Amino acid sequence: MACSTRGVYLKRRARHWWLLACALGLFGTQTRAEPRPQPRTMPQRPVDAGKADVSLDYGATPVRVGGMRCVEQPPQAFLIRTNWFNNGAVGAAMAQQAVRYRTEKYGFFRGFGRAEWNPHPPGFYAVATTFMGLPLQVHKRIVPALKCVEQALKDGPGHLVYTARGVGGIRYHNTYHGGEVSNHVYGIAMDIDSDVNTCCGCVGTWNQHPLCRKKTSNVYDRTALPATWVKTFERFGFYWLGHDAMQDTMHFEFLGDPDKSIAP
C-alpha cells in the first residue's frame, strides 16, 4: 500500500509525479504505515506564550561552541520535501538524490536506497546528547549544528521567550505514510513539545486539535513555538516543517551540510 496511502495533502500534479516516482521505485519498498505522533495531552498554555520580536537581527551575532565558530548555512534545496512534489521530474530526481545523500551521510535505513551506500544503519551513528538541558539521541554528525542552535538561543533572547519541556530525536521505525522516509530514522530530525506544537496536516486526530481548527493563515497561530526559535534553527541548516504543507510545527530537520557546521 506504500505509495497509494499518503497521509498528507498533495496537489494533483504533484501526486502524479509522486506516484510516478513510487512506480519507478525511487523511494524503495517501505510498506509500514504508522500514525504520526499524537498529542500527549490536551493543549495547554505554553510555558512562555510571548512571540519574540523578530525584527531584531539575531544573525548579526557570531556564535561559538567549544572554541569553534558556528557556520551559518541554509538547508540544501534537494533535501526539502516540498521541492520533491512541485517540480515534476526534477522534483522526483531530487527525492531520489535525497535518499542516496542521507544514506551515504547518515546510514542505510532498510527499504530506502542501497546497503552498499553505507555499511551501517543510522542507529549505529546515534549518540546521546542534550538540547536546552533535555536529553535526546541524534546522529553524531548533526550534534555540532544542534549545539550552535542551543548556544545562539542562550546568547540571544530565545531562552527567555520559550522553554522546551520535551524533545525527541532518532526513531528506529518509519512513521511516514506513502513510501516516504522520515528524517527521524536518520537521526537528523527532532521534535519539540509535541503537545503544544501541532502538526495539523498529519494523520490521526490532529485535525481535531483546537489550534488546528483555528481559522488562520498564519502557521504561528497553530504552535506555541516562537518565531525566534524557528529563525535560530534556520541559521544553522535546520529546516522547519511548519513551512511544509503538513504544518508539522514541532519538527526541525537538519538539511545543511554536516561537514560545514563549524570551523576554526
Q: Which residues bind Zn ion (CB under 5 A)?
A: 191, 251
User: Of 250, 244, 201, 246, nearest to 223 (Cα)?
Assistant: 250
Going through 151-237 in order, the beta strands assigned E by DSSP cover 167-168, 189-192
Comparison of 191 and 195: residue with beta carbon closer to Zn ion = 191
Cell of 255: 538539511
Q: CA Rg, the chain, in Å? A: 18
Q: Please state the closest distance from residue 189 (CB atom) to Zn ion, in A.
A: 5
Q: Please state the closest distance from residue 203 (CB atom) to Zn ion, in A.
A: 13
Cell of 51: 512571540
Comparison of 222 and 251: residue with beta carbon closer to Zn ion = 251
Rounded-to-integer distance, Cα 131 and Cα 238, Å: 14
Comparison of 6 and 251: residue with beta carbon closer to Zn ion = 251
Q: Please state the closest distance from residue 68 (CB atom) to Zn ion, in A.
A: 27
Comparison of 150 and 191: residue with beta carbon closer to Zn ion = 191
Half-sphere exposure of 143 (CA within 13 A, CB side): 14
| C-alpha distances out from residue 65 to 2, 68, 75, 159, 215, Å | 42, 5, 20, 17, 41
| C-alpha distances out from residue 209 to 151, 197, 198, Å | 32, 11, 8
Q: Please state the closest distance from residue 60 (CB atom) to Zn ion, in A.
A: 30
Comparison of 92 and 223: residue with beta carbon closer to Zn ion = 223
Comparison of 87 and 129: residue with beta carbon closer to Zn ion = 129
Q: Please state the closest distance from residue 191 (CB atom) to Zn ion, in A.
A: 4
Q: Please state the closest distance from residue 225 (CB atom) to Zn ion, in A.
A: 13
Residue sitting closest to Zn ion (CB): 251
